[in-house]
Amino acid sequence: MNLQIEQGDITTYAVDAIVNAANTTLLGGGGVDGAIHRAAGPQLLTECRALHGCRTGQAKLTKGYRLPAKYVIHTPGPIWQGGTAEEEELLASCYRCCLQLAEEKKCRTVAFPSISTGVYHFPLECAAKIAVREIAAFLQTAACVQKVTMVCFDGRTKAAYDNALAEQ
């Protein structure tokens, strides 16, 4: 399986597509979303405005502009509400929709952040297991996507993804 877990800054990855843990407006925000918008430049916001938002668990694609990545795939992850609002299924859907878009755009390399585990408070260990499970399942049948990198913001996040991958 070609799933790598790394600690780093997703805005520096020279891949076909990076995933943005966006909010439903797609108009930028904090965390990785703000960092991607800052690094890509103002054209990203202009293109995002034309997309008219995105539902939680879905994904939309834009150009990468000033990023080293060709595309940005924006996906609004679920806000954790105690596990009673289909958060796990919505998070799994984020990964599946992003990978499907990457496949449709003939992307070979994709980099993901840890979706929903920052200000949306999704429990990290649970999120890591969902992400690894969905990515691993997708890679078994993917025609174009060959390498997926989980880019973790800090050591705690990387450790959770390393553990999830070891259990896969």
Q: H or E segment at 76?
A: strand 71-76
From the candidates 9, 33, 154, 162, which is the catalytic residue?
Answer: 33
Which is nearest to 154 in space by CA: 10, 30, 50, 47?
10
- The contacts of residue 36 (CB under 8 Å, 6+ apart) are 10, 11, 18, 20, 44, 67, 72
Q: What 8-state DSSP symbol labels residue 12?
A: G
CA distance 74 to 33: 9
- Burial class for 36, CB neighbours closer than 10 Å (0-12, 13-18, 19+): buried
Mark whether 33 is an active-site residue.
yes
Beta carbons within 10 angstroms of residue 84's beta carbon: 6
List active site positions. Answer: 33
